[in-house]
Structure 1
Amino acid sequence: MTDYSEIRSQLEKRLADLLERAEVIEDDLRHPLDADSGEQAIDLADDEALEGVDDILRQEIVQVRLALLRIANGTYGTCSQCGKPIDRKRLLARPIATRCIACAN
């Protein structure tokens, strides 16, 4: 079994960062709308942009959690398409990778 402790640590730090950022965004989205209709329009546009960012963060959170799960169950580093090992350099550069370079192209 390959030692992925360095990558696991990187993923855990990334997950903590993503969760913190998502919480800040969600707190911002919970704010009440301003009484002024012009300000409401601006707030709604800002909220829409924040929701898009939050969606992207949530998707990455899922990918990071799945990568950590693969490390825990011993399937991390194996291409989900061809079953061959994923090069360690690729995993260090993109720790959420599920496919080797050949299959990803």
Structure 2
Amino acid sequence: MTEYSDLQDRLKTRLADLLERAEVIEDDLRHPLDADSSEQAVDLADDEALEGVDDVLRAEIVQIRYALQRIENGTYGTCAKCGKDIARARLEARPIATRCIDCAD
């Protein structure tokens, strides 16, 4: 067990949730449009919103996978910019953080 095993568990749980939600969205997006043209307009608007949500989910999935990789290779908790330790409180608040609070944009 690493010193970040609790955060690793949280990240894995969040990843599983996001993957499940993304799959539901993708299933919704695969459905054919309704034959009624007025319904098609609504469906297209809904699909556009779903695509935006899916993009956000996918970006977070990438960040979580990157954080889990950093835990595995021992670089998690080290600022990618300055090399100093990232405060535990920051990691608990934002487990995907790659920079310390001083280097955060």
TM score, norm. by length of structure 2: 0.97
Runs of 4+ in 1 over 6 A off after TM superposition: none
The match for 1:5 is 5
In 1, Cα distance between equivalents of 2:14 and 2:89? 18
Structure 2 counterpart of 1:19, which letter?
L
TM score, norm. by length of structure 1: 0.97
Structure 2 unaligned runs (5+)? none
Which region of structure 1 is more displaced relative to structure 2, 15-24 or 2-11? 2-11
The match for 2:80 is 80
The match for 1:91 is 91
In 2, Cα distance between equivalents of 1:90 and 1:14? 17
Structure 1 counterpart of 2:34, which letter?
D
Structure 1 counterpart of 2:88, which letter?
R
The RMSD of aligned alpha carbons is: 0.8
Structure 1 unaligned runs (5+)? none
The match for 2:69 is 69
Shift of 1:27: 0.4
Shift of 1:57: 0.2
Shift of 1:96: 0.1
In 2, Cα distance between equivalents of 1:13 and 1:37? 41
Percentage identity across paired residues of the two chains: 77
The match for 2:100 is 100
Aligned residues: 104
Structure 1 counterpart of 2:65, which letter?
R
SS in 1 for 2:103: helix
Deviations 1:64-100 (A, max 9, x none): 0000000000000000000000000000110000000
In 2, Cα distance between equivalents of 1:25 and 1:91? 29
Deviations 1:23-80 (A, max 9, x none): 0000000111000000000000000000000000000000000000000000000000
Structure 2 counterpart of 1:39, which letter?
E
In 2, Cα distance between equivalents of 1:25 and 1:63? 19
